[in-house]
C-alpha cells in the first residue's frame, strides 16, 4: 500500500531553535530528544561513576577512613539511584527508544511529541535535585540505600529522604510518560503495510519494556507517596512502632523494582538484536521465538519480585513459588542467548568495537544470569543475600550487560547520529580496558560475598583487604577506560572519518536515509522494510519493495 | 551444516560436562562449615557451580569459537548464510534450560526442606514444638519456651525451623548497633552468643528499631530481624570455634560495625560457661531444667 | 502549549494527512492545531489510546494501595478497642451518585455526537454537579469520622485511599466544567472536535469504576 501525498510545501517557519541550540531546547523532534537523553544520561553516568570511585576508595582499607560513615551511606544510595534512574533507564529506554522507534515503525515522530519532550525535561531537574540534596548542610542526601527500606528510611534525616522520594517520583513519571508514548508509537504509528511481526526486534523489546513500565512504575509511585506520609505526616503504614508493617513496603517496592531490572535489560536485548545481524551479515536467528521470549520475560518479570525477600520472614509457600517462577526466567532468556549465538554462527563477523562490546555483553550477562539463577534458590540465597555476591551479580548484569550494550550501541549508531565514524583503535582500547577492568572489579566480589562480606558497609573484616584492593584496581581501570571513549566521541564529531549514509550496509529503516537524518526522517516517503534482517540473501531477493529511501542509500563500506 | 560433525560435538560436550563437574567438585569458594546444614548447603553449591560452569564454559566457548572461526578476513566482502531459524534447534534450547531449572528448583527445594525451611511458620508450629517438648525428653526446651521472651501464642513470621524438641532457645534482640542474647533458662544476658556443639539452637529474634539481619557465614544462615515481626532461626552448630555474627541489613551509619561472635563450644565447656555467667545459679531443688541440663550433658563432672 | 503556529508544534513537516505524528494532549486540553482535527484526517487520533494507557497506569497505583490495604487487614490486626465501624449510608449514596453521573456523562457524549450541543452541556452540568455533591458528601464523612489520619493503620490507609480517589474526583469535576465551558456555542468542543469531552468521559468512568472497587473493599468487606 502506498500513500498519496499532497504536494509538499517547504518546512514551515518554526519557533524552535535550530543548530546545536536545539539540543538545549524543548524540542519535540524525537531524534533531538533521543540525543538529549543520551548525553544527559552519560553526564549522570560520570557522576555515578565518580561516586563509585568514592566507594571503591573507601573500601581500599578495612576501616572507615576515607569517608565518614553517614557519608558512605549517602554515597552508595546516590550511586545506586543515579546509575539506575538517571543513567541506565533513561538511556537504554529514552535515548535509543526515542531515536530509533519512529524510524523502525516508519513514522516521522513519536505518537505524542510534546509529552515526549516533557518526559525528558523532567529528568535534569530531578537529577539535580537528587544530587543537590547531598550538599544540604546538616541533612545531606538519603542514607537508606536505593531500596529505602523503612523503618530505616523513616529514621534517617528526613530532608534527604523526602528529596530522594520526590526525585524518584519525577523520574518515575518521566518513565511512565515515555512508556505510554512507546506503546502508542509501536502499536498505532506503524507505517501502512508494516506488520507487527516485521518490526525490528528493538520495537518488541521496547513494547515489552513499556508494558512493564506502565504496569509497575505506578505502584512504586504510590508506595513512595505512602512512605513520604510516614516521614512527613507520621502515619504508620510502614512503621512497626505505630502498628504498621515494614515488609509490605518491600513487597510493593520490589513489585516495581524487579520488573525494573527487565526495564533496564530488555531494551538492551533489543539493541543487541539490531547490532549483531548487521555486523555478522546474517539474519537474526529465530525472530518469532525472540518475540515470544520477550513476552514471556515480561509476564514472568511481573510475578517474581519476592526473590529479593527470601530472608524477610515470608511464608514458605511464597518462597517456593518465587524460587520456581524466578528460575523459569532463565528459559526465555536462554532462548534469546542461544538465538544470538546462532546468529553469529556461520556469519562474516567484523570484529569492530560495536561487535566486541556486544559479544562481551553475552559473556558477562550469561555469567550474571547464572549467578542470578543461583540466587533464586532460597537455600542458596539465604547465605548470600545482602552480601557482595549480590553486588557482583547485579553489576555483571547492569554493567556487564546493559552498559556494555550502551557502548556497543554508541559505536554502532554514532555514524547515524553524526555522519562520522568513531575511531576504531581508540574503540578497541576502550573495549579491552573496560572488559579487563570490569571483570577485575566485580568477579572478586562473588568470593567476598560467599566468604562473609556484607554489602553496604564502609568497614570490613581485614581478611578481605586484598580482594577489595583488587576490586578497586579494577574500578580504577574502568574509570581510565572512560577516557579513550570520551576523547573518541568528542574528537570524532569534528575530525572523524566521514561515514556516508549507511556505513554498515544495514537494512533497518534508520539507515535508509541520510546521516544525520533530516528533521522529517526521510526526504520522501518512509521506506517499507518488511525484512529488516534480510542479510545473506542475494541482493535481488531482499524484499525492499517500496523502499523509496533507497536512492538515498549510498552503498557504503563493507 | 549448523551442527558440526555429531561425534565431535559429542566429545566436546562430554569434555565440557566432565570439566564442569570437576570444577564444581574441586574449586572451593566457601568458608569452613560449622553447622549441620552447612554441608547440605555446600552440596547444593557444588551442583549449582557445576551446572553454571558447564553452561558458562559451553556458551563462552561457542562464542569465542564463532568469533575466531567466522571472523571477516581482510578482503572478504560477502554476507553470511541466510539462515533465519530452525525449529528443532529452538525446541532443544528451550527444553534444556527448562529441564535444568526444573531439576535445580526441585533439588534446592529438597535441600531447603532438609534445612527446615519449609516448616510452616505460625503459632501452630510453636505449639507443636511445645507439645513435643512436653512428651519427650526435652524438658529443657519446654522450660526454655515457657520462660521465653516471645509468648507462645505470638505469631512467628518466618525463618528456619527444624522442629526439634530439645533445642536450646535463645532470645535475640537486635538494635542499632548490637545484638543482645538472652538465655531464658539461665537468665544470662550476653553480647556474644555461646552455643554447645551438636545441640539444636533456636533463636527467637526481635528488633527494637530498624531491620537488621543475623548472619553467620560459617553456618550458611541468615535471617532478617524485623521490628514488629518476630522471626525464628534454628540450626545445629557442629564445629567448635569462634565465628563472626554479621548484621547483613543496612541499619544505619554503624551497620558495618554491627558484628559480634558466636562461640561454638564443646558441651561441657558450654555448661561451664553457663554456670559461670548465670546471674542466679539454679536453685537447689532439682527442677526439670537442671535435670534436663544434666541429662543432655552427661560428661559434666 | 498551543500558542505555536500550526506545524511548528511538532517538528514533523506539514505533510497534511500523511503526517503520522499525532498530537499529544493527555491532560484533555484540546489541540488548536487545525491540521489535527480528528475527523479531517484519515488517521486515527491516538490521544484516547494514550489516555487509556495512562489510566491503566493510574489504575495500578490504586491496585498497589488496595493490595497494601488488604495485606494490612490480613496480617496487622488493630490494637484491641480501636476498630471502627464505618457508616454505610453516606458512602452508599455516594456510590449511587457516581454511577448516575457516569450515565449522565454518557448522555452528554451522545448528545454532542448527535449535534445537540445545548443538551450535551446540560448533561455535563448535571454530571459536574453530581461529582461535586460526591465530594461534599465525602468531606462531610471525613469530618464526622471518629478517627484521624494518624490514629492507626486502618485510619491512615482509609484516608490515603479515599483521599487519592477524592483527588481524582476533584480533577474530574474540574475537567467537566472546563469541557462545559469549551462546548459553549462557538467554543472549541463540538461535534467535530469531541476529544476533550471523550477524554473526560473516559477518565470519569475510570474514576467511577475505581470507586466501586474502593467501596467494596473499604466499606463492605
Ligand atoms: C538489569 C538488571 C538485572 C537483571 C536482568 C537480573 C536478572 C536476574 N536476576 Fe537479578 N538483580 C539485579 C539486577 C538484575 N537481575 C539487581 C540490581 C539486584 C539487587 C537489588 C538490590 O538488592 O539492591 C538483583 C538481585 C537479584 C536477586 C536477589 C538477591 C538478594 O538480594 O538476595 C535474585 C534472586 O533471585 C536475582 C535473580 C535474578 C535472575 C534469576 C535473573 C534472570 O533474569 C537471569 C536470566 C539469565 C540467564 C540465566 C542467562 C542466560 C540463560 C541461558 C544461557 C540459559 C541457560 C541457563 C540456565 C539453565 C541457568 N537477582
Ligand atoms: C545500574 C547501574 C550501575 C552501574 C553502571 C554501576 C557501576 C559501578 N558500581 Fe555500582 N551499584 C549499583 C548500580 C550500578 N553500579 C546499585 C543499584 C548499587 C546498590 C546501591 C545500594 O546498595 O543501595 C550499587 C552498589 C555498588 C557497590 C556496593 C556498595 C556497598 O554495598 O557498600 C559497589 C562497590 O564496589 C559499586 C561499585 C561500582 C563500580 C566500581 C562501578 C563502575 O562500573 C563505575 C565505572 C565508571 C566510572 C568510574 C566513571 C567514569 C570516570 C570518572 C567520572 C572519573 C572519576 C572517577 C574516579 C576517579 C574513580 N556499586
Ligand atoms: Cu544492624 Cu546492620
Ligand atoms: Cu529481581
The CATH number of the domain where C195 resides is what? 1.20.120.80
Compute CA distances B103 → A155, B21, B97, B220, B280, whole Å.
44, 16, 10, 22, 53
Biggest CA pair distance of chain C = 69
CA distance B264 to B141: 19
Cβ(A265) to ligand 1 under 6 A? yes
Higher pLDDT, residue A474 or B132: A474
Are the C-beta atoms of residues B218 and B42 closer than 8 Å to each other? no
Residue A94 DSSP symbol: I
pLDDT in tens, C122-135: 999 999 999 999 99
Model pLDDT, residue B281: 57
Residues A452, B93: C-beta atoms closer than 8 Å: no
Contact A433, A477 (CB under 8 A): yes
Stretch A188-206: mean pLDDT, rounded? 91
| C66 neighbors C213 (Cβ within 8 angstroms) | yes
Any atom of ligand 1 within 6 Å of the Cβ of A370: yes
Q: Is residue C4 part of a domain?
A: no
What is the C-alpha separation between C137 and C142, in angstroms, rounded?
9
Query: Tens digit of pLDDT for each residue in A134-152?
Result: 988 777 888 999 999 988 9
Please report whether residue C41 resides in a domain. no
Residue B296 in this model has a pLDDT that exceeds 70? no
Candidate from A282, A366, A447 with C-beta closest to B81 = A282
As for ligand 2, residues whose beta carbon falls within 6 Å of it are A 46, 49-50, 52-53, 55-56, 76-77, 79-80, 83-84, 88, 145-147, 391, 395, 398-399, 403, 441, 455-457, 475, 478-479, 482
Residue B23: the pLDDT is 85
**pLDDT-derived band at B14, boundaries 50, 70, 90:** confident
Domain boundaries, chain B: 5-69+90-114, 122-155, 156-277
Confirm or reject: Cβ of B225 under 6 Å from ligand 3.
no
Q: Is residue A467 part of a domain?
A: yes
Concatenated DSSP letters for A391-404? HHHHHHHIIIIIIH
Confidence at residue A270, expressed as pLDDT on a 0 to 100 scale: 95
- Residues B66-117: tens digit of each pLDDT: 999 888 888 777 777 777 778 888 888 899 999 999 999 888 888 888 877 7
* The pLDDT of residue A242: 86
- C44 confidence band (pLDDT: 50, 70, 90): low
Write the pLDDT tens digit of every residue in C96-127: 999 999 999 999 989 888 888 888 889 999 99
Range of the domain at A273: 26-556
Residue B164 has a pLDDT of 65
DSSP secondary structure letter of residue A197: G
* pLDDT surpasses 50 at A57: yes
Question: Chains near B, with 3+ CB pairs < 8 A?
Answer: A
Give the pLDDT score at C2: 33
Q: Is A443 on the interface with B (CB under 8 A)?
A: no
Domain count, chain A: 1
Nearest CA in chain A to B27: A447
Q: What are the residues whose beta carbons fall under 8 Å from the beta carbon of A302, sequence distance 6 or more?
A: A212, A215, A216, A259
Q: What is the pLDDT of residues B107-161, one digit of tens each?
A: 888 888 887 777 665 444 444 344 333 333 333 333 333 333 444 445 666 666 6
The listed range with the strongest mean pLDDT (B129-138, B214-223, C5-14) is B214-223
- Does C10 have pLDDT greater than 70? no
Query: Of A551-555, B171-175, B244-248, which gets the smallest average pLDDT?
Result: A551-555
Secondary structure element (H or E) that encloses residue C111, with its range: helix C89-113
In this structure, of A524-528, B192-196, B217-221, C29-33, the range with the lowest mean pLDDT score is C29-33
**Minimum Cα–Cα distance from B213: chain A residue:** A311
What class is the B156-277 domain? mainly beta
Q: Which ligand is nearest to the CA of A46?
A: 2
- The residue that leads in pLDDT, B17 or C6, is B17
Which residues on neighbouring strands pair with residue B173, listed in sequence order?
B180, B206
- Residue C4: which of A15, A115, A237 has the nearest Cβ? A15
CATH of the domain at A408: 1.20.210.10
B295 — pLDDT class (breaks 50, 70, 90) = very low
pLDDT of residue C30: 34
**How many Å lie between the alpha carbon of A300 and the closest alpha carbon of chain C?**
17
Contacts of C99 by beta carbon, 8 Å cutoff, 6+ apart: C208, C212
CA of A223 to the centre of ligand 2 (A): 26
Position of cell 579491552? A432
Exposed/middle/buried for residue A482 (C-beta within 10 Å: 0-12, 13-18, 19+): middle
Q: In what order do the strands lie in the sheet with B168-175?
A: B159-160, B231-235, B201-207, B168-175, B178-183, B188-190
Task: Provide the pLDDT for residue A455.
Answer: 94
CB contact under 8 A, B90 and A289: yes
pLDDT over 70 at B288, yes or no? no
How many domains does the structure of chain C reveal?
A: 1
User: Can you read off the three cell numbers belonging to residue A351?
Assistant: 570484529
- pLDDT, averaged across chain B: 78
Per the CB < 8 A criterion, the answer to whether C21 and A39 are in contact is no
Tell me, using a 6 A CB cutoff, whether residue B224 lines ligand 3. no
Under DSSP, the state recorded for B120 is -
> Mean pLDDT over all residues of chain C?
78
For residue A266, is pLDDT > 90? yes
Q: Is C49 helix (H, G, I), strand (E, B) or coil?
A: helix
Q: Which member of B45, B49, B177, B179 is catalytic? A: B179
- Whether C160 is in a domain gets the answer yes
Please name which of C5, C47, C177 lies closest in space to residue A188, comparing C-alpha atoms. C47
How many angstroms does the Cα of residue A117 sit away from the middle of ligand 2?
Answer: 29
Judge whether C175 lies within some domain: yes
| pLDDT per residue as tens digits for the range C150-201 | 788 888 899 999 999 999 999 999 999 999 998 888 888 888 888 898 899 9
**Is there a contact between A243 and C153 if contact means CB atoms under 8 Å apart?**
yes
Q: Residue B114: its pLDDT value, please?
A: 81
Task: For residue range B49-72, list pLDDT tens digits in order.
Answer: 999 999 999 999 999 999 998 888
Give the separation between CA B83 and CA B62, rounded to whole angstroms.
18
| d(CA A445, ligand 2 centre) in Å | 13
Ligand 2 geometric centre to CA of A484 (Å) = 19
What percent of chain A stands above pLDDT 70?
92
Q: What is the pLDDT of residue B137?
A: 35
Q: Is B181 a catalytic residue?
A: yes
Residue C1, in any domain of the structure: no
Count of H-run helices and E-run strands, chain B: 7, 11
Question: For residue A519, what pLDDT is reported?
Answer: 85
DSSP symbol at A193 = T
C-alpha distances (whole Å) from A466 to each of A61, A67, A472, B28, B226 are 9, 20, 10, 18, 34
**pLDDT band for position B167 (50/70/90)?**
confident
One DSSP character per residue, A17-64 reads: --GGGGGGS----HHHHHHHHHHHHHHHHHHHHHHHHHHHHHTTSSSS
Is the separation of the CB atoms in B97 and A331 below 8 Å? yes
Q: Which ligand is nearest to the CA of A216?
A: 4
The least confident of A337-346, A380-389, B127-136, B207-216 is: B127-136
What are residue B215's phi and psi, to 5 degrees?
Answer: -135, 130
What whole-number percentage of chain B has pLDDT above 90? 29
Q: Kindly state the DSSP code that residue A306 receives in the 8-state scheme.
A: G
- Joined together, the cell numbers standing for residue A116 give 515526549
pLDDT value of residue A217: 94
Q: What is the C-alpha separation between B20 and B13, in angstroms, rounded?
A: 10
**Residue A552 in contact with residue A501, Cβ under 8 Å?**
yes
B212 lines ligand 3 (CB under 6 A): yes
Is the model more confident about A68 or about B123?
A: A68
Quote the minimal CA–CA distance from B108 to chain A in Å.
Answer: 6
Can you tell me the mean pLDDT for A71-100? 94
Is residue A14 included in any domain, yes or no?
A: no
ipTM over cut 0.90: no
pLDDT tens for A426-471 read: 999 999 999 999 999 999 999 999 999 999 999 999 999 999 999 9
A15 touches chain C (CB under 8 A): yes
- Residue A533 binned pLDDT confidence (cut-offs 50, 70, 90): confident
Query: Is pLDDT at B16 greater than 90 in this prediction?
Result: no
- Domain assignment present for residue C195? The answer is yes
- Decide: A385 in ligand 1 pocket, CB within 6 A: yes
Amino acid at each position: 500500500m502506498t500513500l498519496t501525498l499532497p504536494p509538499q510545501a517547504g518546512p514551515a517557519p518554526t519557533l524552535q531553535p535550530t543548530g546545536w541550540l536545539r539540543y538545549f531546547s524543548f524540542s519535540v523532534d524525537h531524534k533531538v530528544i533521543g540525543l538529549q537523553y543520551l548525553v544527559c544520561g552519560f553526564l549522570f553516568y560520570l557522576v555515578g561513576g565518580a561516586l563509585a570511585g568514592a566507594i571503591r576508595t573507601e573500601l581500599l582499607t578495612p576501616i572507615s577512613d576515607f569517608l565518614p560513615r553517614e557519608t558512605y551511606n549517602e554515597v552508595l544510595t546516590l550511586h545506586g539511584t543515579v546509575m539506575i534512574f538517571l543513567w541506565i533507564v533513561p538511556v537504554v529506554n529514552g535515548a535509543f527508544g526515542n531515536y530509533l522507534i519512529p524510524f523502525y515503525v516508519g513514522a516521522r515522530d513519536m505518537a505524542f511529541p510534546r509529552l515526549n519532550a516533557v518526559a525528558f525535561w523532567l529528568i535534569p531537574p530531578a537529577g539535580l535535585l537528587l544530587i543537590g540534596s547531598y550538599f544540604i548542610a546538616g541533612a545531606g542526601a538519603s542514607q537508606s540505600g536505593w531500596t529505602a527500606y523503612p523503618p530505616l528510611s523513616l529514621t534517617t534525616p528526613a530532608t534527604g529522604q523526602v528529596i530522594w522520594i520526590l526525585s524518584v517520583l519525577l523520574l518515575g513519571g518521566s518513565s511512565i510518560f515515555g512508556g505510554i508514548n512507546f506503546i502508542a508509537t509501536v502499536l498505532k504509528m506503524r507505517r501502512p503495510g508494516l506488520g507487527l511481526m516485521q518490526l525490528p526486534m528493538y520495537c518488541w523489546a521496547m513494547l515489552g519494556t513499556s508494558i512493564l513500565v506502565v504496569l509497575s512504575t505506578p505502584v512504586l509511585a504510590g508506595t513512595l507517596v505512602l512512605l513520604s506520609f510516614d516521614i512527613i505526616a507520621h502515619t504508620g503504614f510502614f512503621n512497626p512502632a505505630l502498628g504498621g508493617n515494614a515488609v509490605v513496603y518491600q513487597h510493593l517496592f520490589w513489585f516495581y523494582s524487579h520488573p525494573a531490572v527487565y526495564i533496564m535489560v530488555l531494551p538492551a536485548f533489543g539493541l543487541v538484536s539490531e547490532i549483531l545481524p548487521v555486523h555478522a551479515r546474517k539474519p537474526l536467528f529465530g525472530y518469532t521465538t525472540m518475540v515470544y521470549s520477550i513476552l514471556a520475560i515480561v509476564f514472568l518479570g511481573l510475578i517474581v519480585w519476592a526473590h529479593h525477600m527470601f530472608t524477610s520472614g515470608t511464608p514458605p509457600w511464597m518462597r517456593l513459588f518465587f524460587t520456581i517462577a524466578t528460575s523459569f526466567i532463565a528459559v526465555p532468556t536462554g532462548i534469546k542467548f542461544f538465538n544470538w549465538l546462532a546468529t553469529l554462527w556461520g556469519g562474516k563477523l567484523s570484529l569492530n568495537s560495536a561487535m566486541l562490546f556486544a559479544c562481551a555483553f553475552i559473556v558477562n550477562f550469561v555469567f550474571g544470569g547464572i549467578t542470578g539463577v543461583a540466587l533464586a534458590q532460597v537455600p542458596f540465597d539465604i547465605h548470600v543475600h545482602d552480601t557482595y555476591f549480590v553486588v557482583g551479580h547485579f553489576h555483571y548484569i547492569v554493567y556487564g550487560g546493559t552498559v556494555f550494550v550502551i557502548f556497543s550501541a554508541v559505536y554502532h549508531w554514532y555514524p547515524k547520529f553524526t555522519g562520522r565514524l568513531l575511531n576504531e583503535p581508540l574503540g578497541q582500547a576502550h573495549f579491552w580496558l573496560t572488559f579487563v577492568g570490569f571483570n577485575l572489579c566485580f568477579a572478586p566480589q562473588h568470593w567476598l560475598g560467599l566468604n562473609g562480606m556484607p554489602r553496604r558497609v564502609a568497614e570490613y573484616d581485614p581478611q578481605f583487604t586484598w580482594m577489595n584492593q583488587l576490586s578497586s584496581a579494577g574500578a580504577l581501570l574502568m574509570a581510565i577506560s572512560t577516557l579513550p571513549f570520551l576523547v573518541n566521541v568528542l574528537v570524532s564529531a569534528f575530525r572523524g572519518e566521514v561515514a556516508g549514509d549507511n556505513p554498515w550496509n544495514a537494512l533497518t529503516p534508520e539507515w535508509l536515509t541520510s546521516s544525520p537524518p533530516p528533521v522529517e526522517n526521510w526526504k520522501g516517503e518512509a521506506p517499507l522494510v518488511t525484512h529488516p534482517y534480510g542479510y545473506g540473501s542475494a541482493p535481488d531477493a531482499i524484499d525492499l519493495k517500496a523502499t523509496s529511501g533507497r536512492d538515498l542509500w549510498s552503498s557504503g563500506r563493507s | 551444516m549448523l551442527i558440526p560433525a555429531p561425534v565431535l560435538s559429542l566429545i566436546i560436550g562430554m569434555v565440557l560436562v566432565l570439566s564442569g563437574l570437576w570444577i564444581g567438585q574441586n574449586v572451593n569458594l566457601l568458608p569452613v562449615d560449622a553447622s549441620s546444614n552447612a554441608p547440605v548447603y555446600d552440596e547444593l553449591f557444588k551442583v549449582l557451580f557445576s551446572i553454571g560452569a558447564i553452561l558458562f564454559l559451553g556458551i563462552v566457548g561457542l562464542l569465542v569459537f564463532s568469533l575466531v572461526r567466522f571472523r571477516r578476513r581482510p578482503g572478504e566482502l560477502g554476507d553470511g548464510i541466510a539462515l533465519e531459524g530452525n525449529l528443532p534447534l529452538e525446541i532443544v534450547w528451550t527444553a534444556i534450560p527448562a529441564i535444568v531449572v526444573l531439576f535445580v528448583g526441585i533439588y534446592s527445594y529438597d535441600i531447603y526442606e532438609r534445612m527446615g525451611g519449609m516448616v510452616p511458620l505460625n503459632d501452630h508450629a510453636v505449639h507443636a514444638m511445645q507439645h513435643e517438648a512436653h512428651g519427650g525428653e526435652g524438658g529443657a526446651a519446654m522450660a526454655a519456651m515457657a520462660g521465653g521472651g516471645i509468648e507462645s501464642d505470638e505469631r512467628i513470621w518466618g525463618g528456619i525451623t527444624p522442629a526439634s524438641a530439645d533445642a536450646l532457645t535463645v532470645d535475640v534482640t537486635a538494635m542499632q548497633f548490637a545484638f543482645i542474647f538472652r538465655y531464658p533458662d539461665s537468665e544470662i544476658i550476653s553480647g556474644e552468643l555461646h552455643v554447645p556443639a551438636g545441640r539444636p539452637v533456636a533463636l527467637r529474634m526481635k528488633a527494637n528499631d530498624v531491620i537488621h539481619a543475623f548472619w553467620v557465614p560459617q553456618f550458611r544462615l541468615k535471617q532478617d530481624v524485623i521490628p514488629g515481626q518476630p522471626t525464628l532461626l534454628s540450626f545445629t552448630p557442629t564445629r567448635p570455634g569462634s565465628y563472626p555474627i554479621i548484621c547483613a541489613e543496612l541499619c544505619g551509619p554503624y551497620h558495618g560495625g554491627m558484628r559480634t561472635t558466636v562461640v561454638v563450644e564443646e558441651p561441657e565447656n558450654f555448661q561451664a560457661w553457663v554456670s559461670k555467667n548465670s546471674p542466679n545459679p539454679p536453685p537447689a531443688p532439682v527442677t526439670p531444667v537442671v535435670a534436663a541440663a544434666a541429662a543432655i550433658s552427661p560428661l559434666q563432672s | 502549549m498551543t500558542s505555536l503556529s500550526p506545524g511548528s508544534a511538532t517538528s514533523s513537516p506539514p505533510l497534511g494527512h500523511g503526517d503520522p505524528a499525532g498530537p499529544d494532549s493527555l491532560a484533555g486540553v484540546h489541540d488548536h492545531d487545525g491540521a489535527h482535527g480528528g475527523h479531517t484526517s484519515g488517521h486515527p487520533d491516538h490521544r484516547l489510546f494514550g489516555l487509556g494507557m495512562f489510566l491503566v497506569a493510574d489504575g495500578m497505583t490504586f491496585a498497589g494501595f488496595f493490595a497494601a490495604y488488604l495485606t494490612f487487614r490480613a496480617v496487622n490486626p488493630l490494637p484491641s478497642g480501636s476498630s471502627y465501624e464505618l457508616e454505610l449510608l453516606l458512602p452508599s449514596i455516594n456510590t449511587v451518585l457516581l454511577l448516575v453521573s457516569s450515565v449522565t456523562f454518557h448522555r452528554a457524549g451522545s448528545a454532542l455526537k448527535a449535534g445537540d450541543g445545548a443538551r450535551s452541556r446540560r448533561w455535563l452540568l448535571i454530571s459536574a454537579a453530581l461529582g461535586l455533591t460526591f465530594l461534599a458528601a465525602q468531606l462531610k464523612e471525613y469530618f464526622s469520622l471518629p478517627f484521624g489520619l494518624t490514629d492507626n493503620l486502618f485510619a491512615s490507609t482509609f484516608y490515603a485511599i479515599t483521599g487519592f480517589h477524592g483527588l481524582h474526583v476533584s480533577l474530574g469535576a474540574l475537567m467537566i466544567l472546563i469541557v462545559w465551558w469549551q462546548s459553549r456555542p462557538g467554543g472549541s468542543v463540538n461535534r467535530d472536535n469531541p476529544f476533550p469531552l471523550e477524554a473526560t468521559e473516559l477518565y470519569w468512568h475510570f474514576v467511577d469504576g475505581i470507586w466501586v472497587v474502593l467501596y467494596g473493599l473499604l466499606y463492605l468487606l
